[in-house]
Amino acid sequence: MQIKVNNLGKKFQKEWVFRNVNLTLVQGEPYVLIGPNGSGKSTLMLILSGLLPPSQGEVSYHKEGKEIPEDQFYLYQSIVAPYEEVVEEFTLEELLDFHFSFKKADENKSIGDIMESLYLTQARHKYIRQFSSGMKQRLKLGLAFYAQSDILFLDEPCSNLDAKGIEWYQQEVRKVQHDRIVVVCSNQPYEYEFVKHQINIEQYK
């Protein structure tokens, strides 16, 4: 799997957030987007995922030598971000059943296995709205980690996690980094200490 970025730029009104971004992202080589708060890291991630259109240039996905249509990008990715929410009217079991009816779960994990991996087995029948912020974040990460996705976008992945949750994240993300394109958006080193390549948004101002 590859993501190719050609002459990418984004502006809001008359101000360029970044421009002339040229990258090739490949499976097994984790990346992190770094830069000051408000510099455009999340904006770039949204464009890479296809959720936000660029002002110039293009993003293309390629798998097994074939280019994937833009309207199918979502089939190949999972995204975890502060602006992405889960349905709080579901119980944990209902949400997992619903989510994995659209995205295939890891072949080696049942719904029960996923709950256990999330340390949420005791919350099987609890409504998501009753979860703490840390439980919700761990759940969002689990939905991404345990789905069969080629690309994993992680924006501030350890938001609301305590020390135990951060340790869990670090263990789980290492398990998937070799099989996927992993892109982290963060200024916190403990969120991307496993990453090989840094992309500093300030280089594209």
Q: Which helix (H) or strand (E) holds 199?
A: strand 197-200
What pLDDT is recorded for position 43?
96
* Residue 107 predicted with pLDDT over 90: no
pLDDT of residue 94: 97
Residue 34 pLDDT greater than 90, yes or no: yes
- State mean pLDDT over 79-100: 94
Domain 2-204: give its CATH architecture.
3-Layer(aba) Sandwich (3.40)
**How high is the pLDDT of residue 60?**
97
Residue 143: what pLDDT? 96
Pairing of strands 56-63, 2-12: antiparallel
- Bridge-partner residues for 12, per DSSP? 15
Q: Using the predicted structure, report yes or no on whether residue 130 has a pLDDT greater than 90.
A: yes
* 132 band by pLDDT with thresholds 50, 70 and 90: very high
Q: What percent of the chain stands above pLDDT 70? A: 100
Predicted pLDDT of residue 106: 87
Residue 111 has a pLDDT of 95
Cα dihedral across residues 12, 14, 18, 22: positive or negative:
positive
Over 90: is that where the pLDDT of 83 sits?
no
Mean pLDDT of the region 33-46 = 94
pLDDT for the residue 117: 95
Is residue 176 within 8 A of residue 27, CB to CB? The reply is no
Residue 60: count of CB within 10 angstroms of its CB: 14
Work out the pLDDT band at 59, boundaries 50, 70, 90.
very high
Query: Which of the two residues, 107 and 159, has the higher pLDDT score?
Result: 159
